[in-house]
Amino acid sequence: MLTKKQLDLLEFIHRRLQQDGVPPSFDEMKVALDLRSKSGIHRLITALEERGFIRRLAHRARAIEILRLPENSKEYSNRGPAGAGAAIGSATGVANFGSSPGGSVQAENDQPRQGGTAAAIELSVMGRIAAGVPIEAINQISHQVAVPQAMLSSNGRHYALEVRGDSMINAGINDGDIVVIRETDTADDGDIVVALVADEEATLKRLFRRDGAISLEAENPAYPTRVYPEDQVKVQGRLVGLIRNY
C-alpha cells in the first residue's frame, strides 16, 4: 500500500514518461508534489523502489524505470495491469515533436511490428547525424528501429537518424538518441531540421531565414550559430519525434 505522496509521485513520473519519453528531474518532482526540499523526493523514490514499483538504473542520470502501477492508480486503467518485467518508457523513451497522428504511413521498407498494444512501424536508421559541427552526409541504412505509428504523419515518408554530439541538448536531444524525421524540403522558422550544407555535410539544427541567408542555430550556448547563403543549405527533413534507449 502506497501513501498519497508516494502514489502522487509515481503517477507524475508515469505521466512525464508517457508525454516526454524521459523522467522528470528531482527539482520538477519537488515542485509537482509541493515539497520544500529534494530530500523528500529521495525518500519517496527509495520507498517506491523498495516496494517494487520503480527501478533506478545505475550510471544514468534521471533514469527511472516504472515496473508496475497499483490498481488504485488513476493511470492504471489507461495502461492496464503490468505483467512481470513490464516497464513504461524506460527501456525505450519516446518523445513527439508535433507530428500529426493517424493514418497509415506509406514509407519504403516500413513494416508494422506485431504484438503490443500500440501499432509500430519499422523505420530505416540512415546513419548518424551531427548535433554539433556538420559531418559527412548520411547515405546508407545502418539498421531498423520500431517507431509508434501515432508519431508519424500520414502524408509523407519518414526515416531515422542516430544523433552524435550535444549541441541540441537544450531541446532534449542527447548524444545517442534516435531522431525521427519526416522527409520534406521546406521548413518554417524555428523548426528543427536535417540540413544539408554545400551538398556534402549534414547537421541537425534549428533553421531561421534572415536577410537572405540561412541561420542554423544550436540548442547549446557552447556552439555558435552558423550562417550560410540560402543556396548552400537544403532542408532534407523535419524532426517529428525522438526515441531514447536507457
pLDDT, tens digit (0-9, with 9 covering 90-100), for 82-140: 332 323 233 345 566 653 322 222 233 333 333 333 467 777 787 778 776 555 556 56
Say which residue the cell 541504412 belongs to. Answer: 141
Query: Which pLDDT score is estimated for 63?
Result: 72
Say which residue the cell 556534402 belongs to. Answer: 200
pTM of the model: 0.54
Q: What is the mean pLDDT of the chain?
A: 75
Query: Which pLDDT score is estimated for 133?
Result: 58
Among 23-27, 108-112, 209-213, the range scoring the smallest mean pLDDT is 108-112
Structural domain for 139, as ranges:
96-245
Query: Which pLDDT score is estimated for 213?
Result: 96
CATH code at position 14: 1.10.10.10
Residues 78, 121: one domain?
A: no
Could you say which of 90, 105, 138 is where a domain stops?
Answer: 90
Tell me: pLDDT of 80 over 60.
Answer: no
Query: Which pLDDT score is estimated for 46?
Result: 84
Tell me: pLDDT of 196 over 70.
Answer: yes
Query: Which pLDDT score is estimated for 229?
Result: 95
Residues 145, 196: one domain?
A: yes
Taken in order 22, 25, 28, 34, the sign of the CA dihedral is positive
Tell me: pLDDT of 184 over 80.
Answer: yes
Q: In terms of pLDDT, which residue wins out, 113 or 30?
A: 30
For residues 11 and 75, the answer to whether their CB atoms sit within 8 Å is yes
Residues 206, 228: one domain?
A: yes
Q: Which residues are catalytically annotated?
A: 167, 205
Quote the cell numbers at residue 160: 531515422
Query: Which pLDDT score is estimated for 118?
Result: 46
Q: In terms of pLDDT, which residue wins out, 65 or 110?
A: 65
Domain count, the chain: 2
